[in-house]
A and B are shown apart, each in its own frame.
Chain A
């Protein structure tokens, strides 16, 4: 069959849309698109179902709100509740979160894999050598390479200066970008289509090989026959207005793959009463929460020029923290800047002199996700006291790095501290304060663990073969199956596991 991307506008007048394929995949992010890439090129017929819209670079605007509207989940307002309210960042579009992330590529650290092998018995199911073989292919196909000097920009080069002066390890970030222009617009959706997110790489590649993508279509239930998953039912729906379109029924001759993310996958499974008896479905939600530190420099930084995220330090990875640059657009920087009224407007006027770097914590906290009362999503996540202590130390170290790079002031963004400091000694009260997430404004990205992989249906949802314990023919191939977080950006690991799962279906 010929491939196509079909959206609500294409089928609005139809009563029902029906299709059939060897494999039906729910989700077009890192996992779903990669599985489609493998399966189509092995000669299988594939259909992908995606809740969000297909948004091309020509449809993207440069402001953050337009991006929130069209490619972010809940317009950027998805949050987890706990002691503090924590924004949970996810894309909702063809390409999923790969369409809005900073293009950071890491392989799963071997220490993490060893933990999966030793504590969760997954060594034989996920051989590291196999993952390395797949990463090599992914590196080649997704143009993975270090951020080029030509688009580094000062926000990134200043972090390099800091690491060199302090004698700590730092490196140019490995990114999946081809001929990056350095527009610092990764999080709005790459305006030039240079980032090799799934919407410009594996989804078009699968479509070219015959896959059909039903975008703006929310998968709601499974078709089953003789105790086996044989298809998916969904409904076209405008992601912004909620206006409903026709029903979609897709029959799967071989398998259904669930790749909807660690938030939506457990919700879909719970709705279809799969994995509920495990006691872990929707639980064990793990993430990489983090916060940003702002430095004020005398010379212009102009973080709107250069790669959004081009430099990082994993020097303190064993202490559960990772530092990375993040060029923050003025809409988000303004919300992060201290002060109200004239003070805020003066801070904003110095935007060109600001550098923003983030600390990402490999948190030990575990949260949960379940359906909300009125059809929404209820996410609960609360960093532990130990996580907060890591965050405090991370803020201190980032502040030291800012000063080492030449910052005149640092805006730590911690409640109870001065809005601007001139020395890290001024951070001392933070360590005397209770270990409370409400001291900070944190965000959480990189979500894992809500449909755990394991050997028993009594304490896991998915077998080491990626098939669910409860329903043959249904496979979960996204980061829901990860037993732990990783301390590095997970896209490449998600792709590799999905690739492995897809290869086993061929």
Chain B
């Protein structure tokens, strides 16, 4: 059969953002494929070297469009390690609330995303409607819907507004009450199940070879490999939660784990709201913020994002600007090497589902 060259994306309902896959197909089986990134390359790593530590707070959330808070968190963690800043107790809990709300919103968005390639757009609308309510909560807390610039070195920018706890609780209760309905719409739907069950496998050897982390790793290895458990940051060690895992990683399993994580997130936020102590939310830092200097050093800070380990490697030479910041996008391994080695063999119509369930996010690959 004749081999045909095809492009999937950047304009395609199943593609996630501004990236394209170059593939050779025979019939509808992909024979060879590779990712063509670069359409969203904005030169963040260079840009960060040219801005002061404080100015960078406004720049970094833009690296990952849908989940900006992890960028703020790793940057803050790195700077705090280098400069030896103690974060107030209340700020840790506020950070966890923000990070978990963001995790729910992006899991919902990814879950809605399977509506595109499977032709069930209703799912996407429902998921986005719930995400929108989270964005409204973010707007009340931080003043911004998407790029919050809220988690800063030393704590968070300002305290939670009065009465937001009730609104968060109300939203979480509502989401939890509709959990089965949300499952019914997508993962329990027989036509979607046919596309997911036993398709797009991710064996554990492949996980180790590529360096896949996050849901992909936990679904294949059946171990609680989650940085929140393995290497707790903020105050995750004082929160009671479980890490969903499995030993057979097909597309359905990975989507299922994401939904189970949403349930855990709801529990985490509720515990944070109940346990949160009163007090200051930002460590006192004297002097002119624009002349803030970070002691010399090289540090790697990482958090568990919705797609896996997300980290910054921060180098300071003692100046007012970072000497070098390198970004580890959580989906870099599966997005580049995974597409080259493990997308071939998949059916063409499963390619978009492959991207969705593997959790490929092009902004963090391009940077």
Answer whether A and B are interacting partners: no
